[in-house]
Structure 1
Amino acid sequence: MIERKTTQNRRFMTGFDLEYTNVAVSIGEGTLDSFALPAVEFDLYYDSQMQVVHDLYIVEDGDGYDYRLLVTYLGGDTLAFYDQDGKLFHRLMTVRTKPDGSYTGDYVFIEPRVIEVIDDGKVESRSETAESDGA
């Protein structure tokens, strides 16, 4: 199962519909920060002796955004990390396959940031706050 999570940012996503099976992942086309990204699909790899991590990143390059898929076989002392070209912007998803044929993962969708304005009718200066703290 791949769990859908959300986060907020001023640069947000629209589209990017997720579909998956135990053999492949498909993400529909979408926009990020008014930049169109195409649909992307990749196969899930399984190993009979070790876990395999599939990390799909969104990176910034000279023309906008692009995807990078990194597949790491976790052989005990191997760590999964981003080491490709392009400036890392967002880890869109991670899927971990296991030797028993099961898989787990998460898909992190960026929603528009909501700015909450709290007006309690109180005006407080910085010096008043410092004095009340014993400063």
Structure 2
Amino acid sequence: MIERKEITNRRFMTGFELEYTNEAVTIGEGSLDSFVLPAVEFELYYDTEMPVLHDLYIVEDGEGYDYRLLVTYLGGDTLAFYDQVGKLFHRLMTIKTMPDGFYGGDFVYINKFTPKEVNDGEAQSRGKEA
């Protein structure tokens, strides 16, 4: 199962509909900062001996945003990390597949941050007046 998590940021997403099976993942077209990213699809890899991590990143390049998919076989002391071209902006998704056929992960969607109004400009902290 892939859990949908939501965060807020001033740079937010629209679209990016998620569909998945135990064999593949499809993410629909979406926009980020008014830049349209195309739909993307990738297969899930399973190894008979070790877990496999699938990390889908959104990166900034010279023309806007793009995807980077990194697949890491987690054997022994192998660590997963981003080491590709483009400035890392967001880890959109991580899925871990196991030798027994189990898979799970998360999809992190960015909602629009809406600032809260402060009464008469008075600073407040944790419900108490500052």
1:2-29 CA-to-partner distances (Å, cap 9, x unmatched) read 0000011111000000000000000000
- After TM superposition, the score normalised by the length of structure 1 is 0.88
* AA in 2 matched with 1:104: G
Unaligned stretches of 5+ in structure 1?
130-135
Stretches of 4+ aligned residues off by more than 3 angstroms: 120-124
**Partner residue, 1:22:** 22
Task: Give the length in aligned residue pairs.
Answer: 125
SS at match of 1:8: strand
- After TM superposition, the score normalised by the length of structure 2 is 0.91
Unaligned stretches of 5+ in structure 2?
125-129
**1:114 Cα deviation after fit:** 1.8
Rounded Cα–Cα distance in structure 2 between residues aligned with 1:100 and 1:87: 35
**1:121 Cα deviation after fit:** 7.9
Which structure has the larger Rg over C-alpha atoms?
1
**Partner residue, 1:85:** 85
* AA in 2 matched with 1:6: E
**Partner residue, 2:95:** 95
Rounded Cα–Cα distance in structure 1 between residues aligned with 2:72 and 2:57: 14
**Partner residue, 1:43:** 43
Percent identity at matched positions? 72
**1:76 Cα deviation after fit:** 1.5
RMSD of the alignment, in Å?
1.7
